[in-house]
Chain A
Amino acid sequence: MTPFEIGLIALAAMFLSVLAGLFVPIALMLCSFLGVWAIKGTPLLASKLMALAANDAISSYFFGVVPLFVLMGFIVAEAGLGRDAFDVANAMFRRLRGGLGVGTVGANAIFAAITGISIASAAVFTKIAVPQMIRHGYAPRFAVGVVAGSSVLGMMIPPSLLLILYGILTEQSIGDLFIAGIGPGLLLAVFFAGGIILMAIFTPGFVGRPEGAPAALPPRALLAKGLPIATLIALVLGGIYGGIFTPVEAGAVGSIGALLIGLALRRLTWAGLWRVLVETGLVTATVCFLIIAAQMYSRMLALSGVPAGLGAWAAGADLGFWGLMILYVLIVIALGMILDSSSIMLILVPLMLPVVVPMGVDLVWFGIVTVLAVEIGLLTPPFGISVYVIKATLDDPAITLADIFKGAAPFALIMLAVLALVIVFPMIAIGLVPGR
């Protein structure tokens, strides 16, 4: 058997073992081990690959701050700031069908300006938004779908870890990429909101039956409920854009801020804080363990040559610009089903670069297209990391993985539509970038 064939078998094996109910990280690790053994002919090398990935895969500053972002969100939820924010949103959007869903998207767009990684968005809003949406009568499946869908904003709206990675891979200015992410990110938020309203009107069975228009809040109550969370947002955004701390450090500063606000309002007890810490640890461990496993799997696939073969085939196919872009997006989405976001970029972008550069493609625009396409993979089975994060954070056996994937599906389709728009109208991305 050639390594390529082994790679293909490993793909099928991963699908089957995940469907059969093996723990997802174990399934990925097992397929990587057997795959490398088959490719390299020795179990020793296979076990070394696994151990190196376990030791190194998440050992970076960027991953290191994931628990701090999760912690910030959980403290916000524990201190009731999240509930207050949703009462305010509910009062503001009360005439809108699906108003809380729209509010969640909006809140996620704001949070996206703080975090650079979608995992954090998914974890935080599962804690804050899902219980509130269910409390107000939304279907659980829809509630988790909204959170899964809007979590992708965390990577589109700057700062964004994936755009930084793309910038390094292609030597494009990360500043330009960040600016180019704003338009598509906001467009995505608007489309998500529009989609939610349409779904609330036309598919109430899917959305659930939110209680009739809630009572308007008096301005005093609005202020009392809105002020704490607004203070926290101002602190974090102001700190980042005022040069006090970096977006990477924002998780820690935000956690401290949320902690102080919670203690000042006497809404946070030490016991509650400890509970939140433990919960943060469990979610972080679950998600990062998955990422370690995904890294092993992606390294095994790299050795098999399957992704490189796919990319080389796309790059070599003489399809013209539009044919190539469509094929590229399809391959990215297909790989998104089984690989994590950064692995796809690491494997595909360097392969495509020599092909698209002679075509005169704007590499900043190409980066936005790539990241949007890669992010669809966060929502698609069997390996959809946003969905997994929500499942881990939710800790509710009544909502299954399949429910979350189904709830997220409309949002994956909306992403596809926005992706098509960005491909057809590059100005959405590069319109704001100076010098283009």
Chain B
Amino acid sequence: MRPFLALVLRCLDGATQALNVIGSGLILLLMILVGVDVAGRNLAGAPVAGVPELVTLSIVAIVFLQIPQALRAGRLTRSDALQGWLEPRHPGLAKWIETVFDLVSMAVIWVIVSTTWPIFTRAWERGEFIGALGDFIAPTWPVKLTILIGGSMLILQFAARILRRWIPLSPAEARP
């Protein structure tokens, strides 16, 4: 059971990291895109169409692609005062509170993911776009898809926190 669990967690972390890489790549792409637009406008009198629209779309994708990794890396914002106080005194209680918090987090993100699903399918079926017809348009469904993927991954990472808390893996087993 434990080797299998370790494998599952490794796969999850790998997928989380893959999303992280895509998100970071998007940032690099944005930088280049804006740079080319500025250069094109000033040097060639030919701006790149749709840069503001692409920037507008990308930020949502960047956030949802990277937020699972942010949780995994312990970067999600929280106050650790109570936990810091509780942990050494009542470790069992601290563990239970943390678990409840993770379950609540999973539920909250589930609400967002499940309600985004119909928004995604509609954007896909109707070809919803951002921009102006005749100048530049980009479909919005890929961004909605990143909310679904990133949100689901975030739920799984919360679940992984619970597993790791109750079934400690040796460093060798947990190695990515």
Contacts and interface: CB of A to CB of B under 8 A. Distances in A.
Interface of A: 18-26, 29-30, 33, 46-48, 50-51, 54-55, 58-61, 63-68, 71, 244-245, 249, 251-253, 255-256, 274, 277-278, 280-286, 288-290, 292, 382, 388, 391-392, 395, 397, 400-402
B105 A23 contact: yes
Nearest to B105: A26
A179 B75 CA distance: 38
Contacts of B144: 55
B37 A280 contact: no
A58 B31 contact: no
- The 6 A-B residue pairs with the shortest CB-CB distance, nearest first, are A252-B34, A64-B55, A51-B115, A285-B66, A64-B59, A277-B24
24 contacts: A18-B79, A22-B104, A23-B76, A46-B111, A50-B112, A51-B115, A54-B147, A55-B60, A58-B60, A64-B59, A68-B27, A245-B42, A249-B38, A252-B33, A252-B34, A252-B35, A253-B38, A278-B24, A281-B20, A281-B62, A282-B73, A288-B59, A400-B79, A400-B80
B80 to A, nearest CB: 6
A288 B65 CA distance: 12
B81 interface: yes
B104 A26 contact: yes
Contacts of B90: none
A142 B28 CA distance: 34
A159 to B, nearest CB: 16
Nearest to A58: B59
Contacts of B27: 67-68, 71, 277, 280-281, 284
A252 B82 contact: no
B99 interface: no
A291 B70 CA distance: 15
B75 A282 contact: yes
Contacts of A283: 75
Contact of B77 (A25, A30, A255): A25
Interface string B26-59: 0110110111011000100000000010011111
A46 to B, nearest CB: 8
Contacts of B28: 277
Contacts of A292: 63
Contacts of A256: 31, 35
A382 B77 CA distance: 11
A61 B101 contact: no
Contacts of B73: 282, 395
A67 B24 CA distance: 10
A51 B64 CA distance: 13
Given A50-B112, A55-B147, A289-B76, 12 more contacts: A18-B79, A19-B82, A20-B97, A24-B76, A59-B56, A59-B59, A68-B31, A244-B42, A249-B37, A281-B23, A284-B66, A285-B63
A11 B58 CA distance: 32
Contacts of B112: 29, 47, 50-51, 54
A289 B63 contact: yes
Contacts of A288: 59, 62-63
B69 interface: yes
Interface in B1-33: 20-21, 23-25, 27-28, 30-31, 33
Interface in B82-136: 82-84, 97, 101, 104-105, 108-109, 111-112, 114-116, 119
A18 B65 CA distance: 25
Contact of A67 (B62, B83, B115): B62
A21 B104 contact: no
B77 A24 contact: yes
Contacts of B105: 22-23, 26
A292 B60 CA distance: 10
B20 A402 contact: no
A33 B112 CA distance: 10
B78 interface: yes
A263 B75 CA distance: 29
A204 to B, nearest CB: 26
Contacts of B78: 18, 21-24, 401
Contacts of B79: 18-19, 21, 24, 382, 400-402
A391 B25 CA distance: 24
B81 A21 contact: yes
Given A29-B108, A65-B55, A21 B82 contact: yes
B77 A282 contact: no
Given A66-B59, A256-B31, A395-B75, A21 B83 contact: yes
A284 B28 CA distance: 13
Contacts of A397: 74
